[in-house]
Amino acid sequence: MDDFLAARSQMALSLGFHIVFSCIGMVMPFFMAVSHYKWLKTKDEVYKNLTKAWSKGVAIFFATGAVSGTMLSFELGLLWPKFMEHAGPIFGMPFSLEGTAFFIEAIALGFFLYGWNKLNKWFHWFTGMVVGVSGLASGILVVAANAWMNSPAGFDFVNGKYLNIDPIQAMFNKAWFSQALHMCLAAFTATGFAVAGVHALMVLRNQNKTFHLKAFKIAAVFACVGALLQPLSGDISAKDVAKRQPAKLAAMEALYKTEKPAPLLIGGIVNEKDKTVKGAIKIPGALSFLAHGDFKAEVKGLDKIPEDEHPPVAITHYAFQIMVGIGTLLAIISLMYFINLLRKKQLLEQPWLLKLFVFAIPLGYIALEAGWVVTEVGRQPWIIYGIMRTKDAVTPMPGISYSFYIFSAIYLSLSCIVIFLLYRQIKMVPVLYSKPNRNDHN
Amino acid sequence: MEYVVIAFLCLGILLYFLLGGADFGAGIIELFTSTKNRSRTRKTMYQAIGPVWEANHMWLIIAIVILFVGFPHIYTTMSVYLHIPLLIMLIGIIARGTAFVFRHYDAVKDDMQWLYNRIFRYSSFITPLFLGIIAGSVISGHIDTDAKDFLSAYVYSWLNWFSIAVGLFTVSLCGFLAAVYLIGETDSDHDKRRFIKKAEYMNISAVVFGAMVFIAAQFDNIPLIDWVFKNTVGLTAIILASLSLILLWYLLIKGKTQILRVLAGFQVTMILVAISYAHFPNFIRLKNGNAISLFETIGPEKTIYSLGLALLLGSVLILPFLGYLFYKFQKKEE
């Protein structure tokens, strides 16, 4: 494997791994806090058990997210030293704040996990909230740093030199808000659906129904609200990308030719050599509307962009289709869930709805990863959009493919172990927390 | 503001060495504990470091963020020429952190524990070893930015006697810090004596490897003796460290825990000062005789200003909260 490709693959793998764990680690504390609050208010043992059960999951995910994040802070330099040499001082602001937020999160987690019966109960609850809030802040800050790569700001690029550096302006670049909003909603949606789905499965299997039903309801509300808001945030992102990174938008929609009005392509097979798309469903004018809010607007195609600045079209297009497709599906499931709630139907009488949630367990995360592929691959060939190319940033050290293989093996085995641990945690629920729910065991 | 940033960098490295080091050390102690005592050591250790270990490792993140934001040239030089030891250290960090959490949160305690324990113990040894190797390499002057072939650019930069001796020295110090810390965390007299013994062994091995560092330095033509003995700060620090060594042994025999912890921390701090003061503000020594200095490679003014501000703001939030964490979960002495 060629070193440049290996470096890109290793970075993609590390981020793809980290993103799942950090999203779970930043969203689960909110579920925990809701359940914890209900325990403190209602004194219903089940909520206490649920909080404890979830907190074990959070501990596993947080630790894995933290070590993979530590890895990333080194990996940026190990793989892309030329990038970090110039970018570090410019986009470092969100990272230094993130360091603080992350630190606070780790301290609060120590309090929360070990604080049962040792702390004032409301202070204990508060530390759980701090875990969530600082986790969310970390997430937003890291995404702001990534947004800077898509929308460089806070410096003047003169004759290859980076002058008049302003880190605050760099942090509040044009893309930070739309990206951070989209990412946060995605984190809540994906984690919510994954957690709700697992508990729905247990309800369907007739195990500790009270426990799992309560868990399901908390997670499902977060998931469904997130899924319904996400299309709005997606719209903000699409309009923003159309303005700032026309090449990315063109790749997302495989729009090889500039068109006015431009149709929206759904699906289709991209042929990068012939620059054609076969078998896609075309909705006339829809892309013009999504990108510019006007059915007749012109949308820039790849023909207006120099060939050596084209991102890989097929990958970006497919990833975008997957993200939007799943997003739509999840929004529909959410709508059904809320309609069901409004009509005051008992969930237990609606096994089909629970089955839909079980089906959706992995979907949110698939969409989230696909979205990440869209934004990262769609930025290529640039590492700093319009300023520095990715291939100019890669480390001079040869043999990166070996480290890629090693890390693939590590991440793969870690993923397997974490899934195995969660499986065991869930399997042990009847043993660990069954006292108040004995009636559930028939 | 540049002094604030540099002070935080030094503080980050020091605290990572003391707190993170003690944390690694706990795993090293477990590695060198006989099988019959292991599960008790594990229990004491879990109670002692469970609530604080994540926070201890944040100091590394703080130090690395300061480096890449404020001193990008230093960060990238290390990343390029010390790629391999950094990678091994990272694998160690990943393996250790996950194994520690997995073994505690695995709902079923079965044969998997064997695997977690193995991984935890060995990575607790390897990670500080390579941290020490990296630290040694940075000042050893073996980093060759003009190197033409793979070995001299990416391997001999860290694979030399001096770096390895520093690595082993680091491991002993970590084990020593952990043993001293654990003495105060156990109730049983038997375990207390065990940890005192461990602290003594680790201290002896630190002295031995410390001597080896000096020998290796001679061997590799590193003027370590000049750095330590030819300036007042270095000399004072090394004298204080030696004096505290005597006091430390006395307290060890007496089993006074609180003051012992402070003294052990003080001693390690003095060792770090003695080794590093002489080249301050130089951070990396290069093979061609040049050095990369903190002041010369510091980032642009606005960056340093906002970084310093972020660090000050952060410490206002972090330090009281962290202090309360340590206070709350420390075993109260009766």
> Cα–Cα distance between B334 and B315 in angstroms, integer?
32
Q: Please give the ipTM for the structure prediction.
A: 0.84
Give per-residue pLDDT as tens, A217-271: 899 999 999 999 999 998 888 888 888 888 898 888 888 888 888 888 888 888 8
Nearest-Cα residue of chain B relative to residue A393: B76
Residue to test with chain A: of B1, B47, B76, most A Cβ within 10 A:
B76
Q: In a 3-state reduction of DSSP, which class is residue B78?
A: helix
Is the minimum CB–CB distance between A441 and chain B shorter than 8 Å?
Answer: no
Q: Which two tokens stand for residue A103?
A: 């630190």
A385: Cβ–Cβ under 8 A, 6 or more apart, which residues? A149, A150, A151, A152, A244, A245, A379
Confidence of residue A435 (pLDDT cuts 50, 70, 90): low
Residues of chain B found within 8 Å of residue A113, distances taken between Cβ atoms? 50-51
Residue B130, pLDDT score: 92
Residue B253, pLDDT score: 76
Residue B270, pLDDT score: 87
Arithmetic mean of pLDDT, B48-52 = 71
Q: Which run of H or of E encompasses B142?
A: none
Q: Where are the domains of chain B?
A: 2-329
Give the per-residue SS3 of A7-51: HHHHHHHHHHHHHHHHHHHHHHHHHHHHHHHHHHHHCCHHHHHHH
Window B:21-50, CB contacts with A under 8 Å: 50
Say yes or no to pLDDT of A363 above 90: yes
Residue A437, pLDDT score: 42
Residues of chain B found within 8 Å of residue A71, distances taken between Cβ atoms? 90, 93-94
Is the minimum CB–CB distance between A41 and chain B shorter than 8 Å?
Answer: no
Residue A438, pLDDT score: 40
Cβ contact, residue pair B102, A421, below 8 Å: yes
Give per-residue pLDDT as tens, B218-233: 887 788 788 778 888 8
Is the minimum CB–CB distance between A117 and chain B shorter than 8 Å?
Answer: no
Q: Are B144 and B286 in contact (CB under 8 A)?
A: yes
**Residue whose structure tokens are 């980050």:** B12
> Cα B6 to chain center, whole Å?
18
CB-CB neighbours of B144 under 10 Å: 16
Say yes or no to pLDDT of A436 above 50: no
Is the minimum CB–CB distance between A73 and chain B shorter than 8 Å?
Answer: yes
Window B:94-133, CB contacts with A under 8 Å: 94-95, 97-98, 100-102, 104-108
Give per-residue pLDDT as tens, A68-121: 888 888 888 888 888 888 888 888 888 888 888 888 888 888 888 888 878 888
Cβ contact, residue pair A89, B299, below 8 Å: yes
Confidence of residue B331 (pLDDT cuts 50, 70, 90): low
Residue to test with chain A: of B2, B5, B11, B58, most A Cβ within 10 A:
B58
Minimum distance, in Å, between the CA of residue A329 and any CA atom of chain B: 34
Please give the C-alpha separations between residue A232 and each of A139, A239, A290, in angstroms, as whole numbers. 20, 11, 11
For chain B, percent of residues with pLDDT exceeding 90: 3
Residue A439, pLDDT score: 39
Give per-residue pLDDT as tens, A193-206: 999 999 898 888 88
Confidence of residue A300 (pLDDT cuts 50, 70, 90): confident
Is the minimum CB–CB distance between A395 and chain B shorter than 8 Å?
Answer: yes
Arithmetic mean of pLDDT, A112-131 = 86
Give per-residue pLDDT as tens, A267-293: 888 888 888 888 888 888 888 888 888
Predicted structure pTM score? 0.86
Is the minimum CB–CB distance between B271 and chain A shorter than 8 Å?
Answer: no
Nearest to B318 among A98, A103, A398 (CB): A103
> Cα–Cα distance between A101 and A131 in angstroms, integer?
9
Q: Identify which of A125, A142, A145, A112 has the alpha carbon closest to the alpha carbon of residue A33.
A: A125
Say yes or no to pLDDT of B12 above 80: yes
For chain A, percent of residues with pLDDT exceeding 70: 98
Residue A224, pLDDT score: 92
Residue A442, pLDDT score: 32
For chain A, percent of residues with pLDDT exceeding 90: 21
The rounded mean pLDDT for chain A is 86
Residue A181, pLDDT score: 92
Residue B256 main-chain phi, psi, to 5 deg:
-80, 115
Nearest-Cα residue of chain B relative to residue A127: B321
Nearest to A95 among B60, B69, B317 (CB): B69
Burial of residue A342, with CB atoms counted within 10 A of its CB: 0-12 exposed, 13-18 middle, 19 or more buried = exposed
Residues of chain A found within 8 Å of residue B68, distances taken between Cβ atoms? 73, 76-77, 84, 88, 92, 95
> Cα–Cα distance between B12 and B2 in angstroms, integer?
15
> Cα–Cα distance between A52 and A28 in angstroms, integer?
12
Say yes or no to pLDDT of B48 above 80: no
Is the minimum CB–CB distance between A12 and chain B shorter than 8 Å?
Answer: no
Window B:223-242, CB contacts with A under 8 Å: none
